[in-house]
């Protein structure tokens, strides 16, 4: 058993404080669902650090009677966090991609946009609170674009038969093609800063080269690449243990509120308000295929399906299930993270690594850090979903990163000695 896995098993999660933030100022969406463990489940196994594979597993609770949804965990609409929510047709990829976008304030040039890719099992709405903080801290000068990957969120397949492939090459091509659809003219496009959480970090690192080089055309201006809490060595070390951990993960939920509460009480997401925005997109009504990206109205499934019990054990049926079951992505885990450190260090742009703990660097990144090849920042008190747990701190880091690097518009002419 690795030291990483042993430390994960020994970590016990503290219980959530009782004084939750007020919720009356927010509008709510139609209910979705997710499970929490009220008794034994609140003392759940800690998250496997940096695994990059979405929400951690927790032990199943004992069978319990279904209870009314807790209004403190009611969903919050994402409409107040982005200016636009768009469906972008990308026919070459057989996708109708959901994009959340807050453009930069008008200025002489096209401005700069943080382009955000979520981790496995999450969605673009995981960047909602972060996006609002960026807009406030930059006074609107810095835009934010977050998208839903295939088989995630509200991105839908337009092919006759949905392509279920989530290999790293497919995800990178999807990401690049989507940006080309949103910004078809690289010369008129804003400067891009690519931001990826977990699995999304692997995507943006690999996508930076094709975006810089272009495809038979001038490339885009890419001012930087930021990776949020994923390290190749740590992630790959965790892979052999993932199936056993997923065995203990809830199969489904009886309400959206229950889903949000489970994420908060297990500290999968430590910011309750952020979880109320992001979690609903990670589940679907049980009547819809779990891995389908087709948008389904949760209102039609507001009543829990009949079930043997509510414990999540075999034989139970819940109103909601995971939109992207992580076990179905197992064939791609190794490919997501292999060579990530080398590719990150070799990216032809400024580099930022944001971590939730100082013990997560592998050998390649440790050497690279000592050589000053990238900027690193640690967000104290945050878990794996750092941009949801502490959106203000992470927004400050990214705004500072942008201000430091956005002025470097390469290529530029280097003058010789004596030249004016």
Q: Which residues are designated catalytic?
A: 198, 229, 384
Residue 117 · residue 144 · CB < 8 Å: no
Instruction: Indicate the length of the chain as a whole number.
Output: 420
Residue 204 · residue 175 · CB < 8 Å: yes
User: Is there a cis peptide before residue 411, judged by omega within 30 degrees of 0?
Assistant: yes
Alpha-carbon torsion 266, 272, 278, 281, what sign? positive
* Burial profile 75-87: b = 16 or more Cβ within 10 angstroms, e = fewer: bbbbeebbeeeee
CB neighbourhood size of 23 (10 A): 15
Q: Measured between alpha carbons, how far is 164 from 189 in angstroms, rounded to an integer? A: 31
The interaxial angle of helices 199-213 and 168-182, nearest 10 deg, is: 50
Enumerate residues 6+ apart whose C-beta is below 8 A from 77: 26, 27, 28, 29, 277
Dihedrals φ, ψ of 96, to 5°?
-115, 100
Give the Å distances, CA to CA, from 111 to 138, 183, 196, 361.
Answer: 12, 13, 20, 33
Coil, strand or helix: which one is 143? Answer: strand
Record the tokens describing residue 357, joined without a space.
Answer: 């703990």
Residue 225 · residue 344 · CB < 8 Å: yes
Instruction: Provide DSSP, 18-62.
Output: S-PPP-TTS---S-------SSGGGSPBPP-TT--SSSPP-PPPP
The closest alpha carbon to 265, from 74, 9, 10, 44, belongs to 44
- Owner of token pair 């295929």: 289
Query: Which residues in 80-190 belong to E strands, given as ranges?
Result: 84-90, 95-102, 112-117, 142-147, 156-157
Q: Measured between alpha carbons, how far is 170 from 335 in angstroms, rounded to an integer? A: 11
């Amino acid at each position: 058993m690795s030291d990483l896995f042993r430390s994960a098993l020994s970590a016990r999660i503290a219980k959530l404080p009782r004084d939750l933030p007020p919720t009356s100022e927010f509008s709510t969406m139609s209910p979705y669902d997710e499970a929490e463990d009220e008794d034994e489940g609140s003392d759940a196994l800690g998250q496997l650090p940096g695994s990059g594979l979405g929400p951690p597993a927790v032990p199943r609770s004992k069978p319990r009677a279904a209870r009314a949804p807790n209004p403190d965990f009611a969903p919050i609409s994402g409409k107040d966090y982005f200016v636009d929510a768009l469906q972008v047709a990308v026919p070459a990829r057989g996708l109708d991609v959901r994009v959340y976008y807050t453009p930069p304030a008008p200025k002489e040039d096209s401005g700069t946009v943080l382009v955000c890719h979520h981790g496995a099992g999450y969605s673009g709405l995981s960047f909602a609170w972060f996006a609002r903080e960026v807009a406030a801290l930059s006074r609107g000068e810095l835009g934010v674009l977050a998208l839903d990957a295939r088989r995630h969120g509200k991105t839908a397949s337009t092919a006759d038969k949905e392509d279920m492939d989530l290999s790293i090459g497919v995800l990178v091509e999807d990401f690049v093609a989507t940006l080309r659809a949103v910004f078809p003219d690289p010369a008129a496009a804003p400067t891009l800063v690519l931001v990826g959480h977990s699995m999304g970090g692997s995507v943006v690192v690999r996508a930076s080269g094709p975006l810089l080089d272009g495809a038979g055309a001038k490339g885009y201006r890419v001012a930087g690449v930021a990776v949020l809490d994923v390290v190749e060595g740590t992630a790959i070390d965790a892979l052999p243990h993932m199936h056993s951990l997923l065995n203990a993960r809830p199969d489904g939920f009886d309400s959206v509120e229950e889903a949000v509460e489970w994420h908060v009480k297990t500290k999968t997401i430590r910011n309750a308000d952020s979880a109320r925005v992001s979690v609903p997109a990670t589940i679907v009504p049980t009547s819809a295929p779990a891995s389908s990206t087709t948008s389904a109205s949760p209102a039609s499934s507001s009543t829990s399906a009949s079930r043997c019990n509510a414990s999540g054990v075999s034989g139970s049926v819940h109103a909601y299930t995971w939109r992207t079951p992580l076990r179905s992505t197992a064939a791609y885990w190794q490919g997501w993270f292999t060579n990530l450190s080398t590719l990150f260090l070799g990216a032809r742009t400024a580099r930022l690594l944001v971590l939730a703990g100082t013990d997560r660097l592998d050998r390649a990144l440790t050497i690279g850090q000592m050589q000053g090849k990238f900027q690193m920042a640690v967000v104290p008190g945050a878990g794996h979903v750092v941009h949801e747990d502490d959106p203000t701190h992470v927004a400050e880091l990214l705004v500072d990163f942008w201000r430091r690097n956005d002025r470097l518009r390469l290529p530029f002419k280097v003058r010789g000695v004596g030249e004016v």
